[in-house]
Amino acid sequence: MSDTLDHVFAALADPTRRAILGMLLEDDMAVTDVAEPFAMSLAAISKHLQILAEAGLIAQEKRGRVKWCKLEPDALRAASVWMQGFGVFDPVDLDAFERFLEGELSDPSP
């Protein structure tokens, strides 16, 4: 279980990967559609997608010539259950958590 959580939290540590997960909340997407809003190469996006897939956060499948990505929420549930085990956390609101992180990372004061 620890290795799985390590992969999940490592994958969630990157803002691009969190943004990708947010996009996949809406619907399954082709890799090229996932890459569209980002100012990086398709190869770089593919590396992010590979990390998310290895963590179990997304699944990828080929439909014809197009590779599709789909959110797999079970890995997030496992991380949420782990955090709730400490008894001090309410169920995790990932949107609120992301807003908190954005505020912390954008604040230049120590």
Determine contact, residues 42/32, Cβ cutoff 8 Å. yes
* Distance from C-alpha of 12 to C-alpha of 75, rounded to nearest angstrom: 11
pLDDT single digits (tens) 62-102:
999 999 999 998 888 888 888 777 766 566 677 787 787 77
* Residue the block writes with tokens 């400490």: 86
pLDDT single digits (tens) 16-71:
999 999 999 989 999 999 999 999 999 999 999 999 999 999 999 999 999 999 99
CATH of domain 2-78: 1.10.10.10
Determine contact, residues 24/2, Cβ cutoff 8 Å. no
Q: What is the pTM of this model?
A: 0.74
Structure tokens given for 80: 């949420």
Domain ranges of the chain: 2-78
Which pairs from 78-85 meet CB under 8 Å and 24+ separation?
78/1, 78/4, 78/5, 78/8, 79/5, 79/8, 79/9, 79/12, 82/1, 82/5
